[in-house]
Amino acid sequence: MSESTELTIDWAGLAPMVIVFVAAFAGLLVEAAVPKARRLPVQVALAVAALAGAFVAVVLNADKSGAVFNLGGTGLGSVIVDGPGLFLQGTIAILSIIAVLLLAERRTVRGGDFVAEAAVVADSAADVEQRREDGATEIFPLTLFAVTGMMMFVTAGDLLTMFVALEMLSLPLYLLCGLAKRRRLISQEAALKYFLLGAFASAFYVYGMAMLYGFAGTVDLAGINQAGVSSGQPRMLLYIGVAMIAVALLFKAAAVPFHMWTPDVYTGAPTPVTALMAACVKVAAFGGLLRVFNTGLSSSAWDWHLILTVIAVATMIGGAIFAVTQRNIKRLLAYSSIANAGYLLIGVIALGEAVGQTMFYLAAYGFTVIAAFAVVSLVRDGDEEATHLARWAGLGKNSPGTAVVFTILMLALAGLPFTSGFTAKFSLFSAALQADELGLVIVGVVSSAILAFPYLRVVVLLWLNEPAPDAPTVNLPSPMAGTVVAAGVAATLILGIAPGFLLDIVDQASTFLNT
Amino acid sequence: MNELPLLSALVAVPLIGAVVVASIKRENADAARWTALGFAGAVAVITALVAVGFDYAEGAPWLQFTESYTWISAWDLNLSWGVDGIALLLVALTAGLTPIAMLAAWRDLDAVTRSVPAFFALVLALEAAMLATFLASNVLLFYFFFEAMLVPMYFLIGSYGTGPKKQYAAVKFFLYSLLGGLLMLVAVIALWVNNGGVFDWQTLVESDPLESGTLQNWLFLGFFVAFAIKAPFFPFHTWLPDAGGAAPAAVAALLVGVMDKIGTFAILRYCIPLFPDATRTFAPWVIGMSVIGVIYAAFVAIGQTDLKRLVAYTSIAHFGFIGLGIFAFTSESATGAVLYMFNHGLATGLLFIVVGFLTLRRGSAQIKDYGGAAKTLPLLAGIFLFAGLASLSLPGTAPFISEFLVLFGAFTHNEPVAVLATLGIILAAAYVLWMYQRTMQGERNPQLDEVPAMKRDLTFREKALVAPLVVAILGFGFFPQPLIDMIEPAVDHTLGFVSDEPVDLPAAEGAGNE
C-alpha cells in the first residue's frame, strides 16, 4: 500500500470484543478448574462482568469514528468503529446481560434448562442419565463466544471479517439450540435444522463474496461501494454477489422466504436461547445488513432496491398471516419476529435516512421480546413449559401479575401508544416516509393490523377465558427470570413514555464511516 | 387567563383515580365504588370550573386554558392542552355521563367472577383517555390517546360484557378501531414529514394549509376513515351493534354516548381545518354516506330483536344526521350537528341505561321476552318511553333542536338530500314506538310474572341517576341558547376554513324558543 508499513492498532476500539473474547476463554478454564458446585455462580458473574465491561468500553469509545487497524496512516477496512457499530455493540452487550441472567435461571427446572451433551441420542439411557444431572455451565462461555461474534459482525468493515464473525456467532448457537433438557428430540431437530440451513447460508455468503471480489477486486466494503460506480467488470458479477450475500444475511435476519427455520428453531431451542436469538442475533443480523447495504452497496441501490422491497413486503405480510394461525406461543413469537424483520427491512431499504431509527427499533424490540420469552419460560405445566396457547387460558385469574406483564408486552408488540412498540414504529415509519417509501409504510401498517389479531387473542386468553382446572402454574419467585422480565418491561415502558434520551443517542450515532 | 393548570388536572385526576382504584383489594368493593365516584365527581367539579372561567365572547381566542409542556422534542410532541366551545361541551358530557354510568353499574356487575375495583379503574382510565382526546391540541398527542382508549374499552366489553359474543365483539371493536388508527398513523406521519416536523395544532392551523391536490386528499382520507370508523358512519359501522350489544349497559352508554363523539369531534377539529380543500372535495360523498346511514340504519333498527343492538342501530342513524350537519357547511347545520353530539349523548345514554335496568331485571335483552311489562314497572316504562321519545327528537326534548337545525341547514344546502334525511325522522318514530309497544304495552308476556325482579320498579339509586339526565334533556329542550352560544364561535372558526363567504352568525333563535 503505502511507503510506511507501520501497523497501528486502536486497542480501545477493539476492547469490547477483546474483553468478551478473553472472558469466554476464562470461562473454559473455569470449567476445568472450579468445582462443579460452584461453577454456576462463577460463570454467571464472569459473563455478566465481561459484558458489563464491554458495555463500559463501548461507552468510552463514544464519538469515535475510524478504522481499528491502520497501516501507515491508512485505515484497513477489517474492523470499523463508528456510531452505528458502537451503538449496536452496546445494545448487544446490554441485551446479552439480560439473556445471560435468563440462561442462569435454575428455579424453573431443577438444575437448569440445559444438558451437558447435545449429541447423545435422545431418550437413550445416557440421555436419561444426563437429564438428572445439573445443567451444563458451558453454556456461558459458548454464549460469550457468540456475543463476540455478534459484536464483530456489526463492526466488520470487509466481507472476510464479516464472514469470520458470522461463523463465530453461529457455531455456538447451533450447539446451544440442541441443549434443551426437556423435549430432547425437537431440540436436536432444531439444532440440526439450524446448522444445516445455516451452513448453506454460509456457503452462499462465501460464494457471493467471491463474486463481489471478482467485481470489485477487493472485499473491503468501501472499495466495493467505489467499484459500484467505477468497476469495468461485468455487472452480472455484482448482481450475483449481492444476491448471494443478501441470502445469507436475510437468512440470519429471518426474512421470507429464508425464514423456514425460525419457527422450528425458536420452538425447539431452550427458551433462554430462543430469547438470545430473537433479541441479540436480530440486532447483529440487522447491524450487518445496515452496514453492508449502507457502506458497501449504496452506490448500486438501483440494482437491489426492487428485490429487497419484494422481500420486505413478503416478510411483513407472510409473518403476520402465519402468526394468525399459530396455537403455540413460541411459534407465535417466532412468526412475529419474522414480521418484525420485515419492518426492519424497511429501515435497511431506506438507507441513510433510517439508520438511527432502525437501530432504535432493534433496541426496543430486543427488550420486549426477551421479556416475552422470559415470561414463556415461567409459565409451566409441571416440568415443561406450557407453550400451547390453550393452556394459557385464564392466566389472569391465577397469576394476575404475570398476565399484566404479558399483556403490556403484547400491546407493545402490537404497537400501541405509551409502549416502545409505538415509538419504534413511529420513528421507523417516519424515516421511511422521508425516504419516499410510502408503499412499504402502508404495507407495514396493514401488516401491523393483521399482527395485532394474534397478540390480542393471547390477551383474550389471558383475561377473558376461564382457566382449566389443571391450569399451568407460574413459577415464582424465580429471581433471575424475574429480573429479566422486570428489566424488559421497564425498558418497554420507558422507551414508550420517555424515549427522548435514546432518540438523541441514535440520532448522534447514525452515521456510518465511509458514507 | 387562569393560572391553575385545570386541563392537565382534567386528564390527570381520572388517571390517578384509575391507579388508586386499581390498587384497592378485590374484597373492598364498596371502597372501590366510592373512591371511583369521588374521582369522577372531582372531574365534574373541575369541568364546572373550566366552564365558569371560559370566555364565551365572540372575539375570544379559539382555544382557551392552553397549557403546553415539552414531552418528546424530537417529534414536536408536547403535552399541549386547550379547549374550545365544542370541546368544552363534550368534556361536560363526559364528565357528567361518567359518574352516572358508574352509578348505573354500581351493583349490577357480576362481582363473583369479576373484579369490581378493576371495572371502576377501567372506567376512570377510559374517562381520562376520552377527556385527553377532547383537550389535546397536538396532533400526535391526540393520536396517542385516540389509540390508548381502546385498551380500557376492550376490557370493559370483553371482560364485563354480557352474552355469548362478548369476546368476539371486543376483538372486533379493537381490530376495527386499530386498523383505522393505523391508517391515520400513516397520515399523521405524512403530515409531519410534509410540513417540516410540526405537530402543534395551533401552529398547523395558523400556517398555510397544504397545497390542495392528491396529498391533501390522501391525508384527509387517512384521518377521515379513522374517525368514520370511530363515529361510526355507514359503511364502517358493523362493529358498533356487536360492541353495543355485548357491553354492559353503563359501558354502552359511555361507548355510544361519548366515545363515538370523538370521531365526529375530530372531523371538526382536524379534518376541516387541516385539509379544507379535501374536505370540500369529499363532502358530497360524506353527505351521501350520511343519508344512506340515516335511512339504512333506521330500517335495520326496525328489524332488530335485541334491545341493545336496536339502540346501537338508532345511534348509527343519528350519526348520519351529525355527518350531514357537519358536511353541509352551513352555520345552522354544523351548530346543530355539534348540539346533536351532546344531546344524543344524553338521550342515548339514558336509553342505554334504562335498557340496562330492564335487561338486568329480566335477564334477557330479547324483545320477545317482554310484553306488557309496563303493568308492573310503570315508572321504568315511563322513563323508557321518555328516553325513546327524546331519541326520536320529539319537540320539547333537547335532540329536537339539534335535528331541526341540521335539517334546516341542510335544506339551504341541498334540498333533495334534506328531504331524504327527513324520512329518517319518520322511521325513527317507527322503531322507537314499535320497540316500546312490543316490550311495554300489549298483551302481557306470562313469563314475566315468573321473574320476581320484573315487579320491582325503579330503586332510589336508579331514580337518582336518571333524574339529572331527564332534567338535562328537558332543560336543554326548552333553553338551548346557552349551549348554542358556547359552541357557535368554535363552529364559525371551523367553517371559516371551508366556506368562501363570511359565515352567517346566530340563526338559531327561532328554533331555540321551541
Residue spans per domain, chain B: 6-512
Inter-chain residue contact A416 with B185, CB threshold 8 Å = no
In this prediction, residues B237-249 reach a mean pLDDT of 85
Domain that holds residue A198: 8-508
- pLDDT score, position A4: 63
Looking at the complex, report in whole angstroms how far the Cα of residue B243 sits from the nearest Cα belonging to chain A: 15
CA distances from B402 to B261, B301, B324, B407 (A): 15, 21, 12, 9
Inter-chain residue contact B175 with A429, CB threshold 8 Å = no
Kindly give, in sequence order, each residue whose CB lies less than 8 Å from that of residue A29, ignoring residues fewer than 6 positions away.
none
Chain B's closest residue to A435, CA to CA, is B193
Given the C-alpha cell 325513546, which residue does it identify?
A: B388
Inter-chain residue contact B178 with A418, CB threshold 8 Å = no
**Cα distance between residue B391 and residue A352, in whole Å:** 57
Q: Please list every residue in chain A whose beta carbon sits closer than 8 Å to the beta carbon of residue B155.
A: 463
Task: Read off the pLDDT band of A316 (50, 70, 90).
Answer: very high
The terminus-to-terminus CA distance of chain B in angstroms comes to 36
Q: Please list every residue in chain B whose beta carbon sits closer than 8 Å to the beta carbon of residue A408.
A: none
C-alpha cell at B238: 358493523
B22 — contact with chain A (CB < 8 Å)? no
- pLDDT score, position A3: 54
- pLDDT score, position A389: 84
Q: Please list every residue in chain B whose beta carbon sits closer than 8 Å to the beta carbon of residue A324.
A: none
- pLDDT score, position B504: 44
Task: Read off the pLDDT band of B500 (50, 70, 90).
Answer: low
Inter-chain residue contact A504 with B74, CB threshold 8 Å = yes
Residue B79 has phi, psi (to 5 degrees) of -80, 80
**Cα distance between residue A147 and residue A329, in whole Å:** 26
Chain A's closest residue to B77, CA to CA, is A500
- pLDDT score, position A214: 92
Inter-chain residue contact A442 with B186, CB threshold 8 Å = yes
Inter-chain residue contact A503 with B74, CB threshold 8 Å = yes
Nearest-by-Cβ selection for B147 from A416, A445, A446: A416
Is residue A13's pLDDT more than 50? yes
Inter-chain residue contact B174 with A411, CB threshold 8 Å = no
Whether A273 is covered by a domain: the verdict is: yes
Q: Please list every residue in chain A whose beta carbon sits closer than 8 Å to the beta carbon of residue B143.
A: 417
**Cα distance between residue B400 and residue B394, in whole Å:** 6
- Most confidently modeled of A418-432, B360-374, B416-430? A418-432
In this prediction, residues A376-400 reach a mean pLDDT of 82
A433 — contact with chain B (CB < 8 Å)? yes
Inter-chain residue contact B182 with A448, CB threshold 8 Å = yes
Q: Lowest-confidence range among A21-35, B81-95, B403-417, B437-451?
A: B437-451
Q: Please list every residue in chain B whose beta carbon sits closer than 8 Å to the beta carbon of residue A463.
A: 155, 158-159
Q: Please list every residue in chain A whose beta carbon sits closer than 8 Å to the beta carbon of residue B159.
A: 463-464
- pLDDT score, position B429: 87
Task: Read off the pLDDT band of B209 (50, 70, 90).
Answer: low
DSSP state of B504: P
Q: Which amino acid is at A52?
A: A
Inter-chain residue contact A464 with B178, CB threshold 8 Å = no
Q: Dihedral angle at the C-alpha atoms of A303, A305, A308, A309, nearest 10 degrees?
A: -150
A436 — contact with chain B (CB < 8 Å)? no
Q: Please list every residue in chain B whose beta carbon sits closer than 8 Å to the beta carbon of residue A430.
A: 189, 192-193
Whether A2 is covered by a domain: the verdict is: no
The mean pLDDT of chain B is 85
A412, A492 contact by CB (below 8 A)? yes
- pLDDT score, position B510: 39
- pLDDT score, position A145: 96
Inter-chain residue contact A457 with B171, CB threshold 8 Å = yes
Percent of chain A with pLDDT over 90: 56
- pLDDT score, position B445: 78
Looking at the complex, report in whole angstroms how far the Cα of residue A440 sits from the nearest Cα belonging to chain B: 11
DSSP-based three-state secondary structure for A132: helix
The predicted-structure confidence for B59-111, as pLDDT tens digits, reads as follows 788 888 888 888 888 888 888 898 888 999 999 999 999 999 888 888 776 65
**Cα distance between residue A301 and residue B120, in whole Å:** 55
The mean pLDDT of chain A is 89
- Count CB atoms within 10 A of the CB of residue B305: 12
In this prediction, residues B147-169 reach a mean pLDDT of 86
Is residue B454's pLDDT more than 80? no
β A473-474/A379-381 pair status: antiparallel
Three-class SS of A176-210: HHCCECCCHHHHHHHHHHHHHHHHHHHHHHHHHHH
Inter-chain residue contact A452 with B171, CB threshold 8 Å = no
Q: Please list every residue in chain B whose beta carbon sits closer than 8 Å to the beta carbon of residue A445.
A: 182-183, 185-186
Inter-chain residue contact A460 with B144, CB threshold 8 Å = no
Higher pLDDT: A466 or B228? It is B228
How many separate domains does chain A show?
Answer: 1
The predicted-structure confidence for B271-329, as pLDDT tens digits, reads as follows 888 888 888 889 889 999 999 999 998 899 888 888 888 888 988 988 999 999 999 88
- pLDDT score, position A379: 85
**Cα distance between residue B32 and residue A155, in whole Å:** 56
Given the C-alpha cell 352567517, which residue does it identify?
A: B504
Looking at the complex, report in whole angstroms how far the Cα of residue A260 sits from the nearest Cα belonging to chain B: 28
Task: Read off the pLDDT band of B508 (50, 70, 90).
Answer: very low
**Cα distance between residue B196 and residue B217, in whole Å:** 19
In this prediction, residues A444-473 reach a mean pLDDT of 85
Kindly give, in sequence order, each residue whose CB lies less than 8 Å from that of residue B151, ignoring residues fewer than 6 positions away.
A411, A416, B125
Cis peptide before A477 (omega within 30 of 0): yes
Whether A500 is covered by a domain: the verdict is: yes
Q: Please list every residue in chain B whose beta carbon sits closer than 8 Å to the beta carbon of residue A426.
A: 75, 185, 189
Kindly give, in sequence order, each residue whose CB lies less than 8 Å from that of residue B163, ignoring residues fewer than 6 positions away.
B245, B246, B365
Q: Please list every residue in chain A whose beta carbon sits closer than 8 Å to the beta carbon of residue B151.
A: 411, 416
Q: Please list every residue in chain B whose beta carbon sits closer than 8 Å to the beta carbon of residue A414.
A: 178
**Cα distance between residue A101 and residue A11, in whole Å:** 29
Cβ-in-10-Å burial (0-12, 13-18, 19+) of B174 comes to buried
Is residue A232's pLDDT more than 60? yes
Whether A1 is covered by a domain: the verdict is: no
- pLDDT score, position A460: 84
Inter-chain residue contact B189 with A456, CB threshold 8 Å = no
- pLDDT score, position A206: 95
Which ranges of A105-183 does DSSP label H, i.e. alpha helix? 125-132, 139-153, 159-177
- Most confidently modeled of A8-12, A314-318, B437-441? A314-318
Burial call A361-376: b when 16+ CB within 10 Å, e when fewer: bbbbbbbbbbbbbbbb
Nearest-by-Cβ selection for A460 from B145, B171, B192: B171
DSSP string, B163-232: STTHHHHHHHHHHHHHHHHHHHHHHHHHHHHHTTS--BHHHHHHSPPPPTTHHHHHHHHHHHHHHHHHTT
Cβ-in-10-Å burial (0-12, 13-18, 19+) of B120 comes to buried
A303 — contact with chain B (CB < 8 Å)? no
- Count CB atoms within 10 A of the CB of residue B247: 30
Residue A76 has phi, psi (to 5 degrees) of -90, 140
Residue A326 has phi, psi (to 5 degrees) of -80, 145
Inter-chain residue contact A417 with B185, CB threshold 8 Å = no
